[in-house]
Amino acid sequence: MPQNRRSSLETTSRPPSRSQPGGNTSINVKMESANADVGTDTNNLFGKRSTTPYAPKNRRTPAHSVLTPLSPAEMERYRNYPGGVGTMLLRKRKREREMQRRPKRERKVGDVGLVVEHYNARPDVGVSQRQESPIIGLKSFNNWVKSVLITRFAHPALVESTGMLRGRVLDMGCGKGGDLTKWSKAKVREYVGVDIAAISVDQARLRHAQTRSGPRFAASFFPLDCYANRLRDGLPPGLLVRPFDVVSMQFCMHYAFESEEKARCMLDNVSAHLRSGGRFIGTIPNATQLLGHLDALPKDASELTFGNSVYKIRFETREQRPLFGFRYWFYLQDAVDDVPEYVVQWDNFVKLAAEYGLKLVYKEEFHQIFEEHHEHDEFGPLLQRMRVVDANGESHMDEDQWEAASVYMSANFLIIY
């Protein structure tokens, strides 16, 4: 995409235009206390330590329940967090204690456990800190692609819906709620977000509650593995009485292809709760690109690895290529820390989806989505508003980020009963 010179919006290649990172915002937590008995001398109070030991006789809480200062790592993690440092930290510590008390059989293991641990550990940073990301151009571009998909395919399905409770969206793999603003602009009336990472679900719930000027639609959030459990077994029955107009799965669908059983469970959850004529939209890794890079590696390569400064993909084998469970390890700077993912072989996916009444109506690579929409009356200006390009049409992505974008593709299915 990018070239080594400025170029207009009409050109698909452009150089990076990195805005200088803004100043860091820090949060200082200061605790002050003063215990003064009647008659205590001021110099003694502030100049000397009291000789009276702290030994309350009627303690109501255990000693370890007293708040402890934030560690440097915690200060960095929760810097700019809109929900309040203390509150979020207390919730985190409470969850950790609850996890320790849970039976071991409830904990995620294997690849699923690695994925959950990774996404739960990712901090939900504020807007200003997010702009400091070294791959902010790529992140903005991916968000622009999702905005195009939601506007083109999801919004019409929401508008065409009938009844008093029309405009329902099921977001399977909602993460930290990064698409809530997009759904608000699509005029959704009811949103249900589900994700396997419980901490991410809490952050999504908080993000919705603290929306600037207040939430514009009803929303509920649930921690659930949609690839191993039916929605009807994990969500309130009343929430599933009416079907959804749109089901969205962004950058998460490929995790279901660890096994055929999980892929079928995912598709069953989609089709069972999507109305006739409803839309199923999603983004997944581009198997053609992945396998093309794999095949291009030298025959005597000691490691089956490819990528650049932004992303790296490592396969374990290129001889065995099963339809399910074809694993690779994915790293994306400032986003994904070497977690296991699975190749979604496209023809197999389309055939499997058809068994659940899902008919493919659109499929395109991210680069081609840009080619198709960058001059559009609505989506062209949106590139600048979402900071994919600047006022001169110069891209905020460099060559490596643009190459990383080619890893993904989008899909839109129409359900037909």
Residue 67 lies in a domain: no
pTM of the model: 0.73
Amino acid 10: pLDDT: 39
| 95 in any annotated domain | no
pLDDT at 94: 57
Annotated binding-site residue numbers for S-adenosyl-L-methionine: 146, 173, 195, 225, 250, 255
193 found inside a domain: yes
Number of domains in the chain: 1
pLDDT score for 73: 63
Annotated binding residues, written as ranges, equal 142-143, 146, 173, 195, 225, 250, 255
Q: Is 289 contained in some domain?
A: yes
Residue list, annotated binding site for mRNA: 142-143
Residue ranges of the chain with per-residue pLDDT less than 50: 2-47, 80-83, 85, 99, 102-107
Q: Is residue 8 part of a domain?
A: no
**What pLDDT shows up at residue 52?**
65
Classify residue 233 as left (phi > 0), alpha (psi -120 to 50) or beta.
alpha
Q: What's residue 391's pLDDT?
A: 87
The domain in which residue 201 lies consists of 133-303+340-415
CATH number of the domain that residue 407 is part of = 3.40.50.150
Q: Is residue 59 one of the residues assigned to a domain?
A: no
pLDDT digits (tens, 9 = 90+) for 226-240: 999 999 999 999 999
Q: Has residue 53 been placed in a domain?
A: no
User: Does residue 216 lie within any of the structural domains?
Assistant: yes
